[in-house]
């Protein structure tokens, strides 16, 4: 039995203690946090639609017309007119035959992966995929090959070693802690070559990147080249819930096989109506997506002028990697004291040695306040003992070290149980991924995938 107090003391000593912060008012660019007004730089309300008057009104009207709750699961009596209407609009928006609503992005990822992969199959998962993808892999009880982050050479090697047992490649489109974009074109090419399905989580891409905010797949011209697109209603669309866009055959299968769909109460009508209104605004006002991109580019440029290494971010998500967990918290606290809220992200959310401030830009920010925020963050960092101009590139070094260690060991090796147990802890934020060192030890103990004696491509070591 876990000694709760002792475990809490241990987490505090490691600089990994967490607590909730109280936000008063809606999720706008400025909020009152624990009683103090601050600039908000860690909300996923990317387009500023969570508090849009039309979205609020739609949710309120839906509560009056359909009630607050759906009352049942989708397969009993919980599928209402408003659910079907949003599914049709989402399918059209994503350019797919149909869409299926889930209770949350977590439920969508966990349910779809577990439905598409079975024991004996192999799921190929990016090392920095979201925690819900990780848990979906575990629930499937399939074997899992964790390929190095965005490393298509490593993925190709794993597919070749799978001996025809591959079932699914799964990746985030935009990675939630790094702000970089998956190499989707190369992934689709590999999937076609090895005859495996592809699933892309567009949670942080929908409404934020691509033409009209349709996501990273649309930006790459690949919307119809993957089997499953997962998206969320709780970020750019300002509401709550998730969807899966796919063809009709896949949708029928998920209705019958995705346990998180079958056994969950349907989304509340106000949340569905709010998301529908937000989607309409997104389609009517694509300039919001352009404004988000403009804001993000201006903020990245100013942060780079301050000396920060942005780790290759090209989107509205910007990591300021500082390395040490306690240092990240100190910078967060000093920025808060100066009126800027940028949350510190620490292990096990990110790999050890890559603690960071994870910044999120909104279309409703002003460029001038983002410029000021970049200066404030630099001042807070220096006050905490971290000079972005002279500090070593902790995140880059850590990633290179991880790749080098992997190149020196068994390629495609499962992570064993000891790595998981060392950091056994629930994630405090559903938007945070689990690092590659904390993965599927249960399945690792059950079976060994692939030929570990086979050499990896030389390019991987770089």
DSSP string, 60-113: HHHHHHH-S---SBIIIII--HHHHHHHHHHHHHHTSSEEEEES-HHHHHHHHH
Catalytic site residue from 94, 148, 204, 291: 204
What 3-state class would DSSP assign to 184? helix
Residue 7: the pLDDT is 82
24 labelled catalytic: no
Residue spans of the chain under pLDDT 50: 394-462
Residue 352: the pLDDT is 86
Neighbours of 418 (CB within 10 A): 8
235 labelled catalytic: yes
Each residue's pLDDT tens digit, 219-259? 999 999 999 999 999 999 999 999 999 999 999 999 999 99
Catalytic site residue from 235, 239, 364, 443: 235
Cβ–Cβ < 8 Å for 364, 30: no
Residue 393: the pLDDT is 66
423 labelled catalytic: no
- Its pTM stands at 0.85
What 3-state class would DSSP assign to 130? strand
Strand boundaries in 346-459, DSSP class E? 355-360
Catalytic site residue from 132, 140, 176, 364: 176
Give dist(CA 109, CA 229) in Å, integer: 10
For residue 44 the two structure tokens come to 């996923």
Residues ≥6 apart with Cβ < 8 Å to 449: 122, 143, 145, 161, 162, 412, 414
Pairing of strands 98-102, 242-246: antiparallel
DSSP 136-164: HHHHHT-EEEEEPTT-HHHHHHHHHHTTT
Short-list 153, 217, 144, 206, CA closest to 184: 217
Each residue's pLDDT tens digit, 51-80? 999 999 999 999 999 999 999 999 999 999
For residue 210 the two structure tokens come to 């691509």
Residue 435: the pLDDT is 37
């Amino acid at each position: 039995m876990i000694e709760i107090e002792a475990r809490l003391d241990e987490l505090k000593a490691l600089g990994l203690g967490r607590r909730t912060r109280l936000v008063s008012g809606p999720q706008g660019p400025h909020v009152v946090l624990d009683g103090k007004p601050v600039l908000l730089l860690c909300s996923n309300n990317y387009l500023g639609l969570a508090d849009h008057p039309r979205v609020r009104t739609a949710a309120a009207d839906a509560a009056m017309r359909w009630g607050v709750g759906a009352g049942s699961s989708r397969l009993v009596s919980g599928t209402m007119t408003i659910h079907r209407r949003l599914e049709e609009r989402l399918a059209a928006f994503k350019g797919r035959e149909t869409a299926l609503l889930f209770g949350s992005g977590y439920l969508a990822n966990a349910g779809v992966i577990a439905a598409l992969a079975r024991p004996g199959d192999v799921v190929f998962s990016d090392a920095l995929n979201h925690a819900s993808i990780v848990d979906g892999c575990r629930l499937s009880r399939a074997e899992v090959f964790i390929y190095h982050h965005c490393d298509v050479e490593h993925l190709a090697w794993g597919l070749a070693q799978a001996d025809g047992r591959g079932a699914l490649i799964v990746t985030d489109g935009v990675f939630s802690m790094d702000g970089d974009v998956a190499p989707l074109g190369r992934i689709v090419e590999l999937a076609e070559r090895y005859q495996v399905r592809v699933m892309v989580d567009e949670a942080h891409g929908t409404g934020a990147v691509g033409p009209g905010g349709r996501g990273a797949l649309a930006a790459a011209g690949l919307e119809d080249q993957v089997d499953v697109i997962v998206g969320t209603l709780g970020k750019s669309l300002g509401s709550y819930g998730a969807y899966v866009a796919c063809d009709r055959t896949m949708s029928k299968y998920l209705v019958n096989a995705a346990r998180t769909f079958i056994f969950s109460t349907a989304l509340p009508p106000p949340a569905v109506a709010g998301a529908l209104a937000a989607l309409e605004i997104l389609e009517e006002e694509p300039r919001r997506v352009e404004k988000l991109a403009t804001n993000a580019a201006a903020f990245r440029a100013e942060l780079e002028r301050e000396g920060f290494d942005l780790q290759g971010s090209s989107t509205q998500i910007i990591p300021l990697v500082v390395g040490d967990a306690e240092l990240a918290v100190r910078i967060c606290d000093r920025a808060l004291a100066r009126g800027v809220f940028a949350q510190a992200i620490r292990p096990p959310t990110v790999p050890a040695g890559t603690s960071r401030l994870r910044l999120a830009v909104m279309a409703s920010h002003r460029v001038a306040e983002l410029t000021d925020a970049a200066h404030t963050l630099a001042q807070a960092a220096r006050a905490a003992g971290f000079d972005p101009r002279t500090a070593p590139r902790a995140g880059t070094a850590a990633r290179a070290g991880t790749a080098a260690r992997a190149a020196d060991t068994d390629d495609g090796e499962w992570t064993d149980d000891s790595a998981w147990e060392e950091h056994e802890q629930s994630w405090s934020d559903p938007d945070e991924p689990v690092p590659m060192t904390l993965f599927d030890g249960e399945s690792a103990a059950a079976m060994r995938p692939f030929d570990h004696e086979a050499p990896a491509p030389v390019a991987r070591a770089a």
